[in-house]
Amino acid sequence: MTGRNILVFDVGSSALKAVVFDPTGAIVARSEAGYPITAAHRQSPMDWWRAAVQAAHSLGSAEIGAIALTGTMENLIPVTEDGTPLGEALLYSDPCGAPYLEALTARLDEAGAAGICGNALEPLMTAFKLQWLKAHEPAIWAGARWFLPGSKDFLALRLTGEAATDPTCAATTGLMDLATRDWSAPLRTIHGLERRRLPHIRPATEVIGQLAVAAAAELGVTAGIPVVNGCGDAGTTTMGGGADSTDDISLYIGTTGWVARVASSAALETKSQFYRLPHPVGDGIIEIAPILSAGAATAWARDALGVGIEAAEILARQADVAPGDVVFLPYLSGERSPFLDLDVRGAFLGLSSGDGPPELYYAVLEGVAFAIDANLRAMGGDQRRKVSLVGGGALSAIWPQIIADVIGAPVVAPADPVSATSFGAFRIAQRALRVPVATNSFAPIARPRSERAGRARRLRERFSKGTELVRGLV
């Protein structure tokens, strides 16, 4: 097994990615197959499977020794005993559970549900989608053998015949006890849900079964190879950035972004303003702070300035030679962390007549960096032992340097930061298969410039005061 490749299936919101890694973590082959949203917040699980088959056949002749899984969380996928989907999957984004959360709030509060789950209850949780299903699709509710929360859980059932999920994904359902990593009897009782209808919660690093003959024939892969459980995409993305141990930090910058910090299980003894998920390796947790406008802020700036990505990078490098004092507040769609205010909006502060496109674009990049810094400080002061950057933002020639200057810590990245989610699933699979884990796959991409430290402190204060000001203007 040590010399075989690992195939990762990542079931995303609009496409399935298939990536083959060799034992060192290098990408051997990759492919992608998309699928539609059939209705608002709905998708066909069989479209996920057809995408997996299509993507697998597009990989070429790479020899596959194991399969690992990751994908979206907080879904509701009702299936029969043999894995046949009953209707469409209710996606993580579906708000249909809102009235049921409201109706059950008193009972859930009395049971201490938020403490059990480790997070404040919210309407997108799978538990409240289940209530909607019971009320609006009683035949599907009655006929379902399993209710699966993860898109990758559906693939696992098709691949192995085993109904399983993982603690990271199960934590988004509103039904799992975060401390024990098991389904909560009090919460199941409130929701009227039998334990036998929920998949087994198994560690991310566990082989859940062997690839079934029928599934292998469809995929064009050897039957009997191990299938590793893996975990929900937030967990694999954190692992893909190398955040393995307490105080490690993974930054993700896509259209949106987030700051993920690894904390010990002792953190569960105190309340937190951050969303918490079980770390896929060990007994620690991941604290996650979302940033609503990350890459979206730079896309807006490029559109406003009428430039493409390459031209915008040139503007930023021009400004970086002698950056000014313009500060951008990146609240184009409100903000969720380190404060919740969906009405707050963005602003430029400190503009002068000498500021033009280079200074404005640079300020946007830096504004997102200050938002990251604000969340890091709220999470744990200056505990920044290891900071990694993944997602499309890591491909910029200047943005990682700006982030390093602002947070005052070196930034590392994997070889392919855009494939971090799949790479995290690969690293989890290595643990499951008991082969050496890729730990030397992260290289420094930026170090803080000491001569910029004073400027960072000055602008951080302006960012903080400016945030208070614009929140008061709403």
Phi then psi for residue 391, to 5 deg, are: 95, 175
Beta partners for residue 19, in sequence order: 8, 30
Residue 383: predicted pLDDT = 61
Burial level of 321, CB count in 10 A (0-12/13-18/19+)?
Answer: exposed
Q: Give every CB contact of residue 307 below 8 A, 6+ residues apart in sequence.
A: 315, 357, 361
Residue 438 vs residues 26, 339, 374: alpha-carbon distances, Å: 10, 36, 31
pTM above 0.85, yes or no: yes
pLDDT < 50 regions, the chain = 1-2
Q: Report how far residue 472's alpha carbon sits from residue 224's, in angstroms, rounded to the nearest whole number.
A: 61
What b-and-e string marks burial along 341-373, b requiring 16 or more CB atoms within 10 Å of the CB? Answer: eeebebbbbeeeeebebbbbbbbbbbbbbbbbb
Q: What is the pLDDT of residue 272?
A: 87
- CB burial of residue 436 (10 Å; 0-12, 13-18, 19+): exposed
Q: Strands, DSSP E only, in 304-367?
A: 327-329, 347-349
Q: What is the pLDDT of residue 141?
A: 96
CA torsion 88→94→96→102, rounded to 10°? Answer: 140
Among the listed residues 4, 3, 1, 63, the one whose alpha carbon sits nearest the alpha carbon of residue 29: 63
Residues 121 and 75: their CA atoms lie apart, in Å, by 15
pLDDT, position 386? 81
Q: Alpha helix locations (H) across 82-184?
A: 98-111, 113-117, 126-136, 138-143, 151-160, 167-170
- Domain annotation for the chain: domains and CATH numbers: 5-235 (3.30.420.40), 243-414+439-474 (3.30.420.40)
pLDDT at 474: 63
Q: What is the pLDDT of residue 1?
A: 45
Q: Which residues of 17-54 are buried (b: 16+ CB within 10 A; e: fewer)?
A: bbbbbbbebebbbbbbbebeeeeebebbbebbbebbbb
pLDDT digits (tens, 9 = 90+) for 101-158: 999 999 999 999 999 999 999 999 999 999 999 999 999 999 999 999 999 999 999 9
CA 286, CA 246: separation in Å to the nearest integer? 9
pLDDT at 36: 87
The answer to whether 149 touches 126, Cβ cutoff 8 Å, is yes
* The pair of three-digit structure tokens given for residue 105, joined into one six-digit string: 């709030």
Peptide bond into 338 cis (omega under 30): yes
Angle between helix 357-380 and helix 295-305 axes, rounded to 10 deg? 170
Residue 405's nearest CA partner among 357, 445, 360, 440 is 445
Alpha-carbon torsion, ordered 141, 146, 147, 151, to 10 deg: -130
